[in-house]
């Protein structure tokens, strides 16, 4: 195969280098095209633009493949856990026993939030959206640890082991504090002897002085949700985080921007939309059958089915389906909404209409059901997404800080007015 691609613009020819990825994908390198030709490329939404070279996550949507640092997501889901997979994303390799113990201890040591951060959360308006408070909370966290967020790349990289453990630990405490504040309650004390998810669930739902046991199936389901959301290549929030980092911003600022990007309903709000859809179906008196027919006729939108990247079964959905069933059984949960969800799932997996269009249930479908069953209000769903995605965002920040050479600066095609004179107000 040739190492170059040829482009003709009018009577001019340009030779463009080809970049070959380790999984055989090819990219045309246009980085010098503007300099040589004064022409730029146009790709609305960057759907076919490679913004970077990365070693973190590989996705093949046509084949339903997702790998973290070369490890298949199904194998990680079966054999690993959230913190071990977070270490993998951050450092490039699975940890030894000693490395994993040290990482867990660092994470556990940062669970309690500084008083200033709690004050910043309590100062927010009662009706503030949890994602807005989470973004500002991350900035406040950086202010409480200025030695880890200097905006000096060399210094921030030197302290990255500490800052990454701090943020991964504190993001769950921020989430719990935000929820408790919305109820007018104080944050429950953390217990470093508990696992990452046990501690989080305790801070979220225990009353002061209480310590409610967490069923293992419930803890495992939440841990799995976090693991499956830990990274997903160059999505909207990750690309935002990388762009902020390219300007030299520290991890706290970069992740605060990632949270804001994730907040958008077209990105992080899909699992909330699933629950809203199920509620509406139930309120209409339907068991899901009429809604399915309406969706097939294009009159209704089936949320939680299909995926922009995957043209096959979302590999994360297959994994989460089993965890969903186990968690609901452990909780003894049964409701009309869950019955409707299972009806929709059954139809989508058997009806030729959905199979031919590859409209399989995706990870948002199952995660929304689990999170509702665990007792999380729907406005906290995207916050849970952010907790899981935190190791991925940090990994991309690190990759930019180590390898980035220039600030990200997309071009545009201007379609506005051409040069025109300024007229005095009396002449307009």
How is residue 348 written in tokens?
Answer: 């989508």
Q: How many CB atoms lie within 10 A of CB 92?
A: 14
Check if the beta carbon of residue 94 is closer than 8 Å to that of residue 84: yes
User: What is the C-alpha separation between 69 and 314, in angstroms, rounded?
Assistant: 18
Helix (H) or strand (E) holding 318: helix 315-331
pLDDT of amino acid 425:
97
> Which of 332-336, 382-386, 401-405 has the weakest average pLDDT?
332-336
Rounded CA-CA distance 320/106 in Å is 28
Q: Give percent of the chain with pLDDT exceeding 90.
A: 66
Active-site option among 267, 282, 286, 325: 267
Q: What's the pLDDT at 104?
A: 97
Domain ranges across the chain = 42-404
| DSSP bridge partners of 68 | 57, 71
Q: Catalytic residue at 29?
A: no
User: Per the residue annotation, which of 156, 223, 314, 364 is the catalytic one?
Assistant: 364
Q: Using the predicted structure, report yes or no on whether residue 209 has a pLDDT greater than 80.
A: no
pLDDT at 1: 63
Contacts of 66 (CB under 8 A, 6+ apart): 57, 58, 59, 72, 73, 232, 315, 316
For tokens 């939108």, what's the residue? 301
Phi-psi region of 233 (alpha: psi -120 to 50; beta: other; left: phi over 0): left
The verdict on whether 408 is a catalytic residue reads no
C-alpha span between 214 and 169 (Å, rounded): 19
Confidence at residue 232, expressed as pLDDT on a 0 to 100 scale: 94
Joined together, the tokens standing for residue 400 give 């930019």
CA distance linking residue 304 with residue 299, whole number of Å = 16
Q: Give the lowest-confidence range in 32-41, 237-246, 255-264.
A: 32-41
Distance CA 84, CA 82 (A): 6
3-state secondary structure 104-136: HHHHHCCCCCCHHHHHHHHCCCCCCCHHHHHHH
Helix, strand and coil in the chain, % to nearest 5? 55, 5, 35
Is 329 annotated in the active site? no
Q: Can you tell me the mean pLDDT for 34-50? A: 91
Confidence of residue 62 (pLDDT cuts 50, 70, 90): confident
* The listed CATH number (1.10.3720.10, 3.40.190.10, 1.10.580.10, 3.30.530.20) that belongs to domain 42-404: 1.10.580.10
pLDDT digits (tens, 9 = 90+) for 99-123: 999 999 999 999 999 999 999 999 9
Question: What is the distance between the alpha carbons of residues 428 and 416, in angstroms, rounded to a whole number?
Answer: 19
CB atoms within 10 A of CB 336: 13
Residue 267 has pLDDT above 80, yes or no: yes
DSSP secondary structure code for residue 125 in this structure: -
Would you say how long the chain is, in residues?
428
Which one is catalytic: 229, 232, 307, 396? 307
Give the pLDDT band (50/70/90) at residue 89: very high
Angle at 20 between CA 25 and CA 242, to 5 degrees: 80
**What gap in Å lies between CA 393 and CA 387, rounded to an integer?**
10
pLDDT digits (tens, 9 = 90+) for 325-381: 888 888 887 777 878 888 888 888 888 988 888 888 888 888 888 898 889 999 999
Residue of higher predicted confidence among 163 and 289: 163
d(CA 166, CA 143): 13
First to last CA, the chain: 62
pLDDT score, position 27: 92
**Considering only CA atoms, which of 364, 412, 352 is closest in space to residue 43?**
412
Find tokens 């973290």 and name the residue: 68
Which range is least confidently modeled, 11-25, 107-121, 324-338, 394-408?
Answer: 324-338
Q: Is 27 helix (H, G, I), strand (E, B) or coil?
A: strand
Torsion angle of the four alpha carbons 173, 331, 363, 278, in this order, in degrees rounded to the nearest 10 = -110
Question: DSSP secondary-structure letter at 7?
Answer: E
Contact between residue 317 and residue 68 where contact means Cβ atoms under 8 Å apart:
no
Measured CA to CA, the distance from residue 423 to residue 428 in angstroms comes to: 6
């Amino acid at each position: 195969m040739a190492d170059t691609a040829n482009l003709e613009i009018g009577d001019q020819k340009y030779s463009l280098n080809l970049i070959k990825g380790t999984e055989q994908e090819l990219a045309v390198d246009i980085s010098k095209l503007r300099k040589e030709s004064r022409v730029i490329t146009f790709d609305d939404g960057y759907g076919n633009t490679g913004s970077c070279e990365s070693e973190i996550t590989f996705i093949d949507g046509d084949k339903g493949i997702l790998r973290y640092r070369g490890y298949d997501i199904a194998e990680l889901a079966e054999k690993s856990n959230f913190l071990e997979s977070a270490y993998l994303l951050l450092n490039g390799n699975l940890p030894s026993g000693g490395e994993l113990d040290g990482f867990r201890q660092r994470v556990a040591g940062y669970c309690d939030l500084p008083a200033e951060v709690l004050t910043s959360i309590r100062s927010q308006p009662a009706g503030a959206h949890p994602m807005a408070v989470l973004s500002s909370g991350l900035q406040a966290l950086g202010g409480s640890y200025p030695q880890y967020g200097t905006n000096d790349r060399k210094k921030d990289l030197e302290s990255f082991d500490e800052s990454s453990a701090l943020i991964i630990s504190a993001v769950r405490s921020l989430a719990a504090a935000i929820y408790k504040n919305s109820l007018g309650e104080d944050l429950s004390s953390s217990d470093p002897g508990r696992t990452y998810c046990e501690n989080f669930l305790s801070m979220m739902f225990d009353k002061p002085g209480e310590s409610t046991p967490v069923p293992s199936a419930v803890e495992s389901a939440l841990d799995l949700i976090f693991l499956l959301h830990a990274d997903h290549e160059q999505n909207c929030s990750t690309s935002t985080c990388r762009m902020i980092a390219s300007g030299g911003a520290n991890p706290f600022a970069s992740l605060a921007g990632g949270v804001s990007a994730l907040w958008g309903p077209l990105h992080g709000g899909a699992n909330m939309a699933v629950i809203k859809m199920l509620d509406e179906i139930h309120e209409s008196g339907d068991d899901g059958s009429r809604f399915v027919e309406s969706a097939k006729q294009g009159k209704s939108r089936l949320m939680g089915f299909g995926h922009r990247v995957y043209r096959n079964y979302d590999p994360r959905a297959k994994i989460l389906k089993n965890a969903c069933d186990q968690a609901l059984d452990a909780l003894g949960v049964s409701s009309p909404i869950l019955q409707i969800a299972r009806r929709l799932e059954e139809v989508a997996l058997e009806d030729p209409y959905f199979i031919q269009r590859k409209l399989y249930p995706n990870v948002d479908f199952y995660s929304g059901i689990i999170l509702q069953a665990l007792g999380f209000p729907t406005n906290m769903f995207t916050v849970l997404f952010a907790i899981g995605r935190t190791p991925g965002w940090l990994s991309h920040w690190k990759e930019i800080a180590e390898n980035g050479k220039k600030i990200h600066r997309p071009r545009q095609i201007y379609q506005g007015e051409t040069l025109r004179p300024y007229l005095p107000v009396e002449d307009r």
